[in-house]
Each structure stands twice: as structure tokens, then as C-alpha cells.
Structure 1
């Protein structure tokens, strides 16, 4: 058996999909140490993982992309966050490797310094990505604007013309500071934005086709393992037993991005609908909202019991919340506010499993109509859920027989690792 060291950025949306992989690896007899947010260490220890907190200096570097004036400014702010964290998470992972002496290292793809440190370490390592992969492909549009897949010669011409413009902006913004961080660790510079995702010997993409655009040119290091759906253990709230009729779940980001407008508009839009609305605001303040009689606003409620009752989920377009709903066969209405959320919204619409409303055009009548339409897409959402289940989830990242994440780690990395 082997010892695995897993490392996350300070984001619950990046830790939670990793938990089923950790659980499955431990079930197979491997030991797993996790370095992650301080607030989640106790929960991981309760599951049997040897958890410890990342440096508090890393958690102190917060995302400010929501303050950006336009997409380019938001991208610059995101890059600045990751590069400011890079020397900190590189040193943090190096110290953990020295202390734990792992056989395999698994790193969050948003921890740029830790990715470089894992590469410099020289042992078997993998990265995992819980958002849509921004890899160039002949079968997918340029990443970022949320464009629909090309259809016919004109669509392919659109992609050929736009790809250099879109990717050029990303590369000019991303590569110089990223390569400066890599130079500090002693690994070679990357030549393209795609190379960020091609550098790991194994990259676990936590999604699956056909929600992700089907492609003929997936790189050999990429394994699609499906969404690794996990909620922190918690009893269903007592009031849920009193809810009668259909339920609509409204979610906002677990990392603050000023998306409270989604909750305010949803409460107004659905106040007279024959549904119960439950909104969760993990990075917000529930007391800020005027709540109608058919609604509740909570900081946290486990989504699993709610989705078992839900007719529709209204999300900000976060990959975790959106795929969690679809994995339960619940159709989704997406209101993207930034980050990768335009791409998530486009995949929801493209799969037929829901609808989307641009945040800049968000009004109660538009959202109400979009929720009604999304609620009629149960059959399509069920088809996506079946594809996610077939991909294998956390078990898949760790082994082979229908468990993609565990399969990939065991067969591609642990087989070459020196036994402890």
C-alpha cells in the first residue's frame, strides 16, 4: 500500500470534490494525508484522513475578481491571486513532502506554486480540476465567453478566428507571472496556456461527457472521472419534513463574488409560485434578505436532502453546485456572474438539462420564466445524471472497475511508486 499526499487551494469548492477520492483510496488500504483549509481539517480527520491546515498566509490571499471592471480585469485579478499564493503554497507543499515522504502527490490545479513544487519533486504526481478544462480543442469553442459549439463551416471559421484572440489574452495575462512563480521553484517555463494542464502526468477532470463537450483530441494525461459529489455530513434540517410540494434550491458561491443579487431576484421571482424556495449563501449573510412566506435563506444546508425533493436548482454557475444538482437528476437554471460560470451555463444549455439567464439581464420575470422552463427538463437532467454515474466519480479517480478517479491514480501513478 502507498501513502498519498493531497493538497488543495483554499476553496471548499475544490476540497469537497476531492473527499470521495480520499475516501476511496483509504478504503483500498492506502494512507492519505490532506492539506487544506483550516476550517475543514476536523471534518477530514473525523473521516480518518491525516488532515492538516495549509499556511494561514495562503488563506489570507482572497480572490478579488468580483471587483473587476470587465472580463479582462477580472482575469488579471484572478491571476494575481494565484501568483501571490504561489510562493506560499510551493513552500507549504515542499515542507509537507519533506515531512510526510509520500509515494504520490495529488494537487489542486489552482495551486500554481504547489503544482510547480510537485513537478520539481520528481515523484509520481497528479493534478485535479473541478471546473471545465480550458484546453484548446478542434471540437470545442474557445474557452471563456460561453460560446455554443461550432456548427458547420461558419462555426468552425468562427472558432479559428476567435481562438487566437481569446487564448492570446489568456496567455499574455497568465504566462508571465505563472512562469515567474515556476522559475522560483526551479522548473521550466510553460509555452502556452494549455501547458498548465498538460504538465501533470495525470490530470483528473471532474466532469464527464456529454455534459462536457465530447472531444476526439483529449490529451493522454487527462482522465474524465465525473463529478465527485460530496456534502459535509449533516442531518436534514427538521423544517424540511414540513415542506409540501416542489422545492427550488438557490445556491451562491462558497467563495465570495458578490452574487447576492441572485437570491434577491429569485425570492421575488418565485414568491407567488407554488414552490418552496431554499436559498443557501455560504459566503453571505442570510439576514440581508427580505424573505417571503414560501422561502428560507440559510448560510448552509446540506444540498443532498434538498435535491432529493427539488424540481429545479438555480445556481450561480459554480461547477460543484451545478453538477451536484444534475447528478441528482435535477434540472438547473444557471445565472453566471463570472469566473468559469459562462462555460458552465453553456454546458447546461447545450446538454438540454436546463436554462441560463445572464446576470446583467437578471430580472424577476426573466428568472421566473427560465425556472419554469428548466423544471420541464427533468428527462434531460436524468440523462446527464446517468452519464455522470457511468463515469465513476471518486472511486474512478482511485482504481478501474467503474471507479474512475481511484482507478487512474492506482493504475497510472501508484503502480510506478516505490512501495512504503
Structure 2
């Protein structure tokens, strides 16, 4: 038995995978303490873990901080918003996270730490600040891998280059990416200095992937870019299965998913769904005259929809992806790593419409491997949506490429992988 602290910033997309790991480790007989945001207390206890809340200065509601924050939403998608997110959502919790981890390690000095890659509470001690180190520190990268090397940038290999010319270009592009996040790195350095760190602080994402003992990325090599050589402390773990729904009843339209016409699922995810006019509503209107069945998952009260659903659309607050995606032919999404890869694992091509956080990096992978189409916008036009849907549904090469990646997902077991890494 291993004693494990499972920790995450209080962000839905970061926390849900850690709850799955907590439950899986508990089922295998390990002692799990869940250090999570207060809104996840009940879920942590349901997983069988001992729940410990994040301190008040590291706890918040990400739906307000990310989804409905006028300061954030006033920033253009891209470097400014990305820096704002990293600084205000993740770096800002460092002091409270550090204090909480130290209290738990004082109780159980031999505990291992399993946390998301953007949980920064173990950074201070790793960089020389006073305190205890966990016996083993395993970081789970739930979002896109934001690391390049001599063979690729964080957005993929640069086209048309070979040999030393490609190496020089990739190094320059990767240096530019780190420079783009200078304000985030500076904010992290300030907090680390406050907490007594004595060693040089790397660039933010260099620290993300170099400080833990090992990084388990929730993806497969076939959904990553080709690399010269992943570091020995980097493991592709696959993805967790989609969480099954709690309601065993099927929607009244479930029998329509009978294969008579293609099924297109559209979602804006669980966080970036404050403005349904960006993607969900345009998709419903764009596909209204096509011979497809559109399933729109709003991930909030369906009354937020500002239009009447067309005759070929079915709208729900939530439909479990584990049941829905095996019956789907296409997913239209704003490109979060979890939903995108869940679709690919189910053999479903994707149309990507995301420009914030790590979503462009997920979209770049989809385009690179021809697993769907990247529209390179969060607000596609009706014409763009129709063309993309027509192209993917009409070209079997997309589904064939997805089948190959799907087989790799099926061959990975992330809970078994992470359990082994914790020992």
C-alpha cells in the first residue's frame, strides 16, 4: 500500500482526472488524501478518499474566474489571455498549495504526491525552499503538452524544413514560446522568492515538465508531435475513460441514434460555455438543413440557448460521452484535451474551434495527424461549419486515421501506469 496525496488546482478540467485517479487507487488498496477545491469535497469522499480542502487563498470557483470574468474576457485570445490564466488561476495558488502540502507531509512524511502538472505547490521545496519533499512526485499532464524540442514546436513541426535548418528554426520558435510567457514566469519567481526558493527558476513550462520526478501525460504518442527523444521522466499514459452518467435513463430521443443518418455532437465544454453564440448556436443553425442528427450538449441549463433548436437537433444539459460518442460520427468542439481525446478514443473525428488556453495546441495535433479539421477560430461562420462537416463526413480517410489512434488509446491503462510510477 502506498500513501498518496492527490492534489489539483480547483479547476474542473484539472480536478476531474485526479478524482478518477483517487478512486482507482483507493480500489487498489492505497491510502489516498485528496487535496482539492471545496466544490469537489463530496466527489472526493465518494471516491473513497480522505478529503482535505485547499486553503482559502488557493480555493476559488473556476466558473467565475475563467468563464464569467469580465477582466479576463476583455483580453484577446492568445498570449495576453494565456498569461492571465496561468498567473491568476495557477501561479496565484502557490503559497496556499505549498502550505497545505507541507502540513500533509508533516503528518505522513513518506507520502507520495500525485498532482496535475499545473499544481505548483511542490515547486518551492524542489527549488530550495525549506520543507519536506514527497517521497515520490508524479505529475499528471491533463492538458496539451506545452513542450517543444529540436524536432517540433509546441504547435507542431515547422513545414518545409529539414536537418540543421529545422533544428535551428524549432529552437528559435520554442525560445519565442517561453518568451511569450515571461510575465507568468516572473510571477512564479516572485512567489518562489517569497517562499524561500534558492535555486534558479526555469521558464514556466520548463519547470512544469522538469521539476517532478516523472510526468505522466494523459495522451498517447500517436496524438503527440514527433520528438527527437522524450525525456526519461516522461510517460505517455493514455486517457481515462469518460465518466459514466449518474442517470440511467436515456433521453427520449435516444432511439434516434440508430445509424439512419449521421450523428454530429457539438459542445463548448464545461467552462467556456458562457457565450453559446460562439459555437453551439451557429452549429445548430448551420446544420439545420443537412441530413444529420445534431446532439448539442450545453453543459449548463438548456434555457441558456438563445435560439429555438432546429427540427434535426436535440439539446440536453449533459449526455454522458461514454454512451453518446460510440453512436456519433463527428464531434464539433472548442478543443479541450479531455473531450477531444475521448472522441478520438471512441473512433470519432473532430472539428476543432478553439483559440484559448491550450486548445490551439490540441487543434494543431488534430490537423497534423488528419484526425479532423482545425477551423482556427472560436467563432466559425455557418459556411465554415457546413464545409468542415461535409468534408469530414464525406472523406473516409479521416475516420481511418482516427481508428489507428483509437487502437493506441485502447492499449493504454493510465491508472495502472500511474500506480507503478508512484512506487
- Same fold, TM exceeding 0.5? yes
Question: 1:15 and 1:106 mapped to 2: Cα distance?
Answer: 12
Secondary structure of the 1:152 match is coil
Aligned partner of 1:205 in structure 2 is 217
Structure 2 residue 140 is the aligned partner of structure 1 residue 128: yes
**Residue 342 of structure 1: CA displacement?**
0.8
Structure 2 residue 401 is the aligned partner of structure 1 residue 392: no
Aligned partner of 2:23 in structure 1 is 23
Question: 2:77 and 2:145 mapped to 1: Cα distance?
Answer: 22
Listed one character per residue, the Cα deviations across residues 90-113 of structure 1 (whole Å, up to 9, x for unaligned) are: 233333444565621112222223
Aligned partner of 1:182 in structure 2 is 192
Aligned partner of 2:93 in structure 1 is 85
Structure 2 residue 251 is the aligned partner of structure 1 residue 238: yes
Query: Which stretches in structure 2 are left out of the alignment for 5+ residues?
Result: none
Secondary structure of the 2:179 match is helix
Question: 1:216 and 1:25 mapped to 2: Cα distance?
Answer: 33
Aligned partner of 1:404 in structure 2 is none
1:72 paired residue among 73, 79, 83:
79
Name the stretch that deviates more: 113-122 or 191-200.
Answer: 113-122
**Residue 288 of structure 1: CA displacement?**
2.8
**Residue 87 of structure 1: CA displacement?**
1.9
Map 1:15-414 to 2 at 5 A.
15-57=15-57, 58-60=59-61, 62-63=65-66, 65-81=72-88, 82-99=90-107, 103-116=111-124, 120-123=131-134, 124-141=136-153, 143=154, 146-153=155-162, 155-170=166-181, 172-187=182-197, 188-193=199-204, 194-234=206-246, 235=248, 237-244=250-257, 245=260, 246-256=262-272, 258=274, 260=276, 261-282=278-299, 286-290=303-307, 291-359=309-377, 362-375=380-393, 376=396, 377-398=398-419, 407-409=420-422, 414=423
> Which structure's relative contact order is higher, taking Cα pairs within 8 Å and 6+ residues apart?
1
Query: Which stretches in structure 1 are left out of the alignment for 5+ residues?
Result: 399-406, 415-420
**Residue 347 of structure 1: CA displacement?**
0.5
Structure 1 contact 66–257 (Cα < 8 Å) conserved: no
Change (3 A) 1:335 1:22: same
**Residue 388 of structure 1: CA displacement?**
1.5
Question: 2:123 and 2:47 mapped to 1: Cα distance?
Answer: 26
Change (3 A) 1:95 1:338: same
Structure 1 contact 277–295 (Cα < 8 Å) conserved: yes
**Residue 137 of structure 1: CA displacement?**
0.8
Secondary structure of the 2:332 match is strand
Question: 1:281 and 1:56 mapped to 2: Cα distance?
Answer: 30
**Residue 313 of structure 1: CA displacement?**
0.8
Secondary structure of the 1:308 match is helix
Question: 1:354 and 1:165 mapped to 2: Cα distance?
Answer: 28
Structure 2 contact 22–47 (Cα < 8 Å) conserved: no
Question: How many residue pairs are counted as aligned between the two chains?
Answer: 398
- Give me the TM-score of the superposition, normalised by structure 1: 0.86
**Residue 156 of structure 1: CA displacement?**
4.6
**Residue 286 of structure 1: CA displacement?**
4.4
Structure 1 contact 256–284 (Cα < 8 Å) conserved: no
Once superposed, what is the RMSD of the aligned Cα atoms?
2.5
**Residue 128 of structure 1: CA displacement?**
1.2
